[in-house]
Every structure is written in C-alpha cells, then in structure tokens.
Structure 1
Amino acid sequence: MHFRSADRQRGSVTAEFAAVLPAVLVLLAACLGAVQVVGQHVRLTDAAGSAARLLARGESAHSAAAPLQGLGPSATLTVESQGTFICAGVSAASAFAPFAAAGLVLSARSCALAGGP
C-alpha cells in the first residue's frame, strides 16, 4: 500500500528545511561574530589599562603603545592628561569583517594616577 500524502509531507519538510537553513546560518554567523567582537573589546580594555599604567609611570607614548601590538593595524592610542590622571584611549576597527565593513569601531579608555608605582 502506497500513501501519496506521506510522500508529499516528506517533500514539504525538505523544502521548509531548505528555506530556513540559510536564515539559521546567517543568525549563527552573526552570533559568532558578536562573540568575537566582545573578545576584541576585552583585549582593547586590557591594552588601554596597560598603556595608562605605563604612561603614569613616566614611559614614553611609543613604549606605552607596546600593548597595542597584536590588536591589528588599525589600533590607535590616544593620550590625555586630566589633572593628576593620565588616560589612554585605544580604538580599532572590528576584527570581524562584516562588522568592519559596516564601520564598527571599538574603543576602550583607562586612566591611572600619574607618578604612581
């Protein structure tokens, strides 16, 4: 005995799966990209903190930029003095290409007391 309705249902499940799969893959890629961007922001925050501490100890801006190595060629350091504090700002374009193409730039800022140990 052969049921045609069962064959039609099997075909419709395959068609629905084929229609939904690209959307699921795009969503998965966006989620993985967001995780990568969060990781990059953590690295920028660490680099800004290290640079601020180096600057507060009296190091040059060139040597304070050492923590930026490994953050990519677009990473930049800005130095600002606010009273007794030295602040370092680090910014870089997103390492995840689709977000970078959209113009996403990440930044972090940290301050340290000047003349500290």
Structure 2
Amino acid sequence: MTLGDDRGSVTAEFAVAFPAVLVIVALLLGGIQIATLQVRAQDAAADAARGLARGDAQEVIETRLARQVSGAALSTWLDGDLRCVRVEVAPIGAAAVLGLRAAASACALRDVG
C-alpha cells in the first residue's frame, strides 16, 4: 500500500458528513426559533386575556397581537368569570420545515364592576 491509495478519502468523508452537519444545525436553529416563538405566544396570550378581561375592544386586542406575534390566530371564549384566549402561530424559516406550531392559552378574571 502506498500513500497514493488514500488520496481523496478526506474529501469523500467530508462530502458525506457535511450534509448531516447542516441538517443538525438547521434542526437546532429551528428548535430555538420554535422555543422563542412559544414564549412570545404565551406572553401575547396573557396580554390578550388581560385586555379582554378589562373590556378592551376585540379590534384593539387583535392589533396588539399582530404587533407582538405576526401571523398569529386568536380565539376567545368565556369560562365562568374568566375570559380565555388561545394564540396559535406557525413559524417561518427553518422551523417551518419541522411542521410545528406554537400555541398558548391564558385566562384572566373578567372585570364585573
């Protein structure tokens, strides 16, 4: 065996390993994006529930939500004296490939005074 027999093996190994590394990095970045989006959705849901419980108009809440988390969908319901909301948002970019959605719910006591 001579030294010439191993020529190109590093290039071949790199060509095989590099796409796998790229996939792992993309999944890690997507996971971080989903986690960040989940926190933003939870904050927006809590804010929307408080606003609706105070008696703010639905349009005001939706405008505020659009500023906090673009592309989010809002659903509301009453549960006794509680005003509850659910915020759902799909990620964009690398996290969209994962097919996950961020969703958060929050409730606040209605102002009955």
Measured against the shorter chain, the TM-score band is 0.7 to 0.9
**TM-score, length basis structure 1:** 0.81
**TM-score, length basis structure 2:** 0.84
Q: Deviations over 1:63-107 (max 9, x none)?
A: 12233124223x1111111011111111112223x5435643221
% same residue: 40
Structure with max Cα Rg: 1
| Structure with larger RCO (C-alpha < 8 A, sep 6+) | 2
> What's the Cα RMSD here?
2.3
- d(CA) in 2 for partners of 1:44, 1:32: 18
CA contact (8 A) 1:37 1:95 kept: no
- Match 1:72 to one of 63, 70, 73: 70
CA contact (8 A) 1:40 1:95 kept: no
Q: Gapped runs of 5+ residues in structure 1?
A: none
- d(CA) in 2 for partners of 1:48, 1:87: 9
- d(CA) in 2 for partners of 1:40, 1:72: 10
